[in-house]
Chains A and B, each alone.
Chain A
């Protein structure tokens, strides 16, 4: 048997332009929940690019080369990398067209206390003197660890960079 259910959501719950979270009235029965769950209010496929990747929206070879250089990655499969980046950008560039409250403090994006107690000079002084002391629980024990022991190539206690750090670099 098909049960017809009318869902009376408050208008503010359905508004497309709202920027706040909203709680609607409770469901009275499972049929209302079923009707609610079967209704999709947007589709995640909207996030996938609706256009074909073409010359116009593909990042240039120069851009990809410079990104690979910044990344310390090899200059290979450039065409493939251009295509992958174009796909990724089509996805994240949806942010461009979204409205945002410009007065928001971007630092509040970190999951930390938003309004901490201001530090006093005394607080900073105490923290600094504590930092100066060795902490055994952090492994700060003189002579307990050979810094180059995990290095594949080292000489007289120094790390080695073959070909040098300065020569042969663009």
Chain B
């Protein structure tokens, strides 16, 4: 992209920031960096979700607990993008520590959806600012993180592309952990070519990340590309839900109609464990979050209470009370899940049920799974197609009042995205519904088939 075009994009930032509350901090060096950048992503502007660490801008995770915190190093993903010539515009708003699906639980206030010029609608979360930055045409692409749907849901709500690669494909070194067995860095853009170019830069083994997919498995995965012109695409029956509004179901039907017209085969698929995905997730993820959030005591870095470090005989309460309410709820739940009785009854059981879900995905895919050793089902499907969200974006006020009445209502919003997170599968959200705003469908593939998903998406974009 030319510097002129990049500067034009950049000129939209002040008004977009004022209207949609997209960024938590903004780089003051963009113009200089644009002039000197070189590499395959030269001149492309990007936003960084504010739970990915950067040396030259604060990393707050949308929390008062990390207000003004500056990391001594750049995350591997930031480093790779800078070396490839992309220029960071700023850090983007998010639900505190990635916990939320509306983009409203941030110390910096909610992000608003740029698709709606009138009224304050949610952008979806937790990568709310990253999605809004792309939707408002302030950046060419954004980095988000996806633990249970945090890239794909906001991508659907803002009608952009949101890609969650296979778990371990993109380095997590320098990504502030929420639930490390699920956390994945994702890419958001309006342009599939840009998204693919960015993925090519980031798709590398990183020795600094112990969960990074090693080179021999990457090479194994590259042997299993889907080469067919006509694909077998499965539609999971467990994702048919009466509560989904008619217009959203119609959008999925239209996508399927166009796929059938292009000669692809559509098949019904059943994955019974999809029904268990939410309770599994909310057993495992808060338990992992508890360990990750235990480090925020204010002693070594981050916010610290001005007066004391102890309250009611418990250390660090004066500082830790500054976590937002949703984070506090999940910490308490996580500690409950890890207590001896619940650990055996819930935690271990949830892990076993997660294995059943992974095995069921293996049952339906034609490609082998390079991690589980499953050889693939010769009569299986190449990909799965489903909706990305259960509802259309609603106003921030409605979201908050629903959430206050019962937070479980926002938890169930992730039912379509969570199964793929639990199985670590590559999934791309693609805008659907023609002129309808805020609807997306998801294309998912076998573990490691990221490139095949991106190639297949060309049929739909």
Q: Which residues of A contact B (CB under 8 A)?
A: 9, 13-14, 18-27, 29-30, 33-34, 36-45, 47-49, 59, 63-64, 67-75, 81, 84-85, 87-89, 91-96, 98, 100-102, 104-115, 137-139, 145, 147-148, 150-153, 159-163, 165, 168-170
Contact = CB atoms under 8 A, between A and B. Distances in A.
Interface in B286-320: 290, 294, 297-302, 304, 308-317, 320
Contact of A70 (B168, B310, B335): B335
Contact of A21 (B241, B271, B390, B411): B271
Given A87-B408, A152-B298, 4 more contacts: A44-B412, A49-B408, A72-B315, A112-B211
Contact of A22 (B316, B331, B363, B412): B363
B136 interface: no
B336 A161 contact: no
Contact of A73 (B276, B317, B359): B317
For chain B, which range describes its interface: under 10, 10 to 19, 20 to 34, or 35 or more residues? Answer: 35 or more
Interface stretch (B9-17, B26-34, B144-152, B249-257): B249-257
Contacts of A27: 260, 266-268
Nearest to B320: A72
Contacts of A84: 329, 332, 407
B371 interface: yes
B72 interface: yes
Given A21-B271, A47-B412, A101 B283 contact: no
Contact of B279 (A91, A101, A138): A91
Given A33-B266, A108-B355, A109-B181, A92 B406 contact: no
Nearest to B332: A67
B352 A114 contact: no
Contacts of B268: 9, 13, 23-25, 27, 36
A30 B332 contact: no
Residue of B243, B249, B266 most packed against chain A (CB within 10 A): B266
Contacts of A91: 278-279, 282, 408, 411
Nearest to B348: A106
Interface string B326-345: 00110111011101000001
Nearest to B371: A113
Contacts of B119: none
A37 B252 contact: yes
B332 A64 contact: yes
27 contacts: A14-B270, A30-B253, A33-B257, A38-B249, A41-B238, A41-B240, A44-B278, A47-B278, A48-B408, A48-B409, A48-B412, A71-B328, A81-B332, A84-B332, A87-B407, A89-B333, A91-B278, A96-B349, A100-B353, A101-B356, A105-B355, A111-B424, A113-B370, A114-B373, A147-B300, A170-B312, A170-B313
A30 B104 CA distance: 39
B354 to A, nearest CB: 4
Interface of B: 69-70, 72-73, 167-168, 181, 208, 211, 217, 232, 234-235, 237-238, 240-243, 249, 252-253, 256-257, 260, 265-273, 275-276, 278-280, 282-284, 290, 294, 297-302, 304, 308-317, 320-321, 323, 328-329, 331-333, 335-337, 339, 345-346, 348-356, 358-364, 370-373, 377, 379-381, 390, 406-409, 411-412, 415, 423-424, 447
A166 to B, nearest CB: 10
A60 to B, nearest CB: 12
Nearest to B421: A111
Contact of A111 (B168, B350, B351, B381): B168
A112 B97 CA distance: 24
B235 to A, nearest CB: 7
B300 A159 contact: yes
A81 B249 CA distance: 37
Given A20-B363, A37-B240, A104-B356, A137 B208 contact: yes
5 closest A-B pairs (Cβ-Cβ)? A21-B363, A111-B424, A170-B313, A21-B360, A150-B301
A35 B215 CA distance: 45
Nearest to B234: A23
Contacts of B234: 23
Contacts of A74: 311-312, 317, 321
Given A106-B351, A169-B313, A26 B275 contact: no
Given A27-B267, A33-B253, A44 B314 contact: no
B241 A44 contact: yes
Given A47-B279, A91-B408, A109-B355, A36 B309 contact: no
B412 A23 contact: no
Contacts of B272: 18-19, 21
Nearest to A106: B351
Given A20-B363, A47-B412, A170-B313, A85 B336 contact: yes
Nearest to A147: B300
Contacts of A162: 308-310
Contact of A145 (B72, B352, B358): B72
A100 B240 contact: no
Contacts of A63: 336
Contacts of B408: 47-49, 87-88, 91
